[in-house]
Every structure is written in C-alpha cells, then in structure tokens.
Amino acid sequence: MKKIIAMMMALMLVLTGIAVFTACDGGEENKGSTETTTAAATTEPAENEAPKVLKMATNAYFQPYEFYKDGKIVGIDAEIAAAIAEKLGMTLEIVDMEFDSIITAVNEGSVDFGMAGMTVTEDRLKEVDFSTSYANGKQVIIVKEDSPITTADDLFAEGAAYKVGVQLGTTGDIYATGDFGAENVTTYSNGNEAVLALLGGSVDCVIIDNEPAKALVAANAGLKVLDTAYANEDYAICIKKGNTELLDAINNAIKELTADGTIDAIIAKYIK
C-alpha cells in the first residue's frame, strides 16, 4: 500500500512539473507578443505625425513681396517661403511684425527665419547668417510730381538739405542715414506712413524698394518714382547665426526651386 501511495505521489510530481513548464513557456510567448504590439503602437504616431511648422518673420506692408489680401499674408516672399517649407516637408507659419524686429526675433528663436525683401549688409551679417539670394531689387526715390528732385544726384547736390522719409530698419534707412545724416532722415514703421508724410509735406522724398514704390504711387495720386535708381541689391533669407542645418536646407531648396523655374514663376506672377 505504501508503495502504491509513493508511486502515486511521484506521478503527481511529474505531472505538476510538466504543467509548470508549460505555463512558463506560454508566459514567455505572451511576453514576446506584448513587446511587438507595443513597438508597433509606438511607431504608428510617428508615421501619422503632422508636418513640423517652419516659422517665418516678415513685415507685411511691402507689396508685392508681402502684403495682406482677404486677411491673409500673400506675395512673392510668402509663396517662395511656402515652396521652401514644402521642400523641407514642413508647413509654413508667417508672423507679421515691425521690420526692425525681425532679426531680433530670429536670434531669440521665436521664429526660424526672416524674409521681407531683406538685403544682405555688412552690419546685418554681424548679427545673422543669410541664404543665397532668391531675387533682385533696387532702391528708388518717390517724389511729388512737381518736385525739384528729378534724379538721385539732386539729393547729393552741394547745399542740398532735403528731408528723406524711409521705413525704419530697411536698407533705404541705412543708406540714406549714411549718405545724408540722421538729422535729414525721418523713419516710419512702414512705406505707407512714409508716403503719407511725403504727401503732407513732412519730407521731400521717400526712398524705398522699387516694387513697393510702384504700388504706393499707384495708390496715391500726385506722386511719381524717379527713373534713376538710388541703389541696387539682392534679397536673401536671414537665419540665426550658426544654424547651419537650416541654412543648408534652405539653400538647397532655393537651388532646386530656381532650377525647376518655381521661383521665376512666382516672381512673374506678381511682377509683370
């Protein structure tokens, strides 16, 4: 009887061992299955993740490069920037601000880059890096139709002390202040205000980029743009100094958009 009981106990131990082994083995399989599912769930949001936002600072009173239409900022710079963002797999967000605040915003990191018909100058290069040029422009002079100022040379004539209106922080501001002295230059927050000052007699002329100048003259009777240019320049995008990754990406995008004719087509859309 004792032998039978002993044999039964031994058999029970064997069966228990098999059951324990099977349970452990099944647990390992379930564990592996759980890890795979978790990994798959982790990668799914990455695949469906919304494109990153590329923030652009501008001053939207510089037609046809940037201006408001139906409550939205449009223009040459806005469209080129959108094309660049698309090349980088990102979506564009445009932030409107005073022109002379753009470089500060770029350096503080509240925006990724500045694009506002901005010219490369030695002083600006001390603060930010610039992309390759994407468009050319020139500074011109707006005067009243009966103005004694008939060419750019008249501003430099001996004894001349004309009052010049400019948009604060622009190359027109920089050049005019250097040429005629700060005492003869009045700054305004945008070209519109400068032209109103000209119409009101506060200044004798306004120095501003050619395309915005044409739009301002078309909108205000009694004004004209002089035939002779005040200065010629190239437009580029400003980026925080040292941000070579973004600079290289933007330069590559500009190169591709120039090669395939996209940039020329955008400019031709606004400048006939």
Q: Any idea where the domains of the chain sit in the sequence?
A: 53-134+236-270, 137-232
220-to-12, 16, 176, 188, 251 alpha-carbon distances in Å? 104, 98, 23, 17, 38
- For the 53-134+236-270 domain, the top CATH level (class) is alpha beta
pLDDT digits (tens, 9 = 90+) for 170-226: 999 999 999 999 999 999 999 999 999 999 999 999 999 999 999 999 999 999 999
Helices assigned H by DSSP within 126-261: 171-180, 191-200, 210-219, 244-259
CATH of 137-232, one of 3.40.190.10, 1.10.490.20, 3.40.30.10, 3.40.50.880: 3.40.190.10
Identical fold at 53-134+236-270 and 137-232? yes
- Provide the pLDDT confidence category of residue 272 given band limits of 50, 70 and 90: confident
- Over residues 15-41, mean pLDDT: 36
Backbone angles phi, psi at 195, to 5 degrees: -65, -40
- Looking at the chain, the whole-number percentage of residues with pLDDT higher than 90 is 79
- Provide the pLDDT confidence category of residue 48 given band limits of 50, 70 and 90: low
Cite the beta strand spans of the chain per DSSP E. Answer: 53-58, 61-62, 66-69, 72-74, 91-96, 113-114, 128-130, 135-144, 164-167, 185-188, 205-209, 223-225, 231-235, 238-240
Q: Model-level pTM? A: 0.73
Predicted confidence at residue 140, as pLDDT, reads 97
The amino acid at residue 11 is L
- Over residues 80-99, mean pLDDT: 97
Answer whether residue 7 shows pLDDT above 90. Answer: no
- Over residues 51-71, mean pLDDT: 95
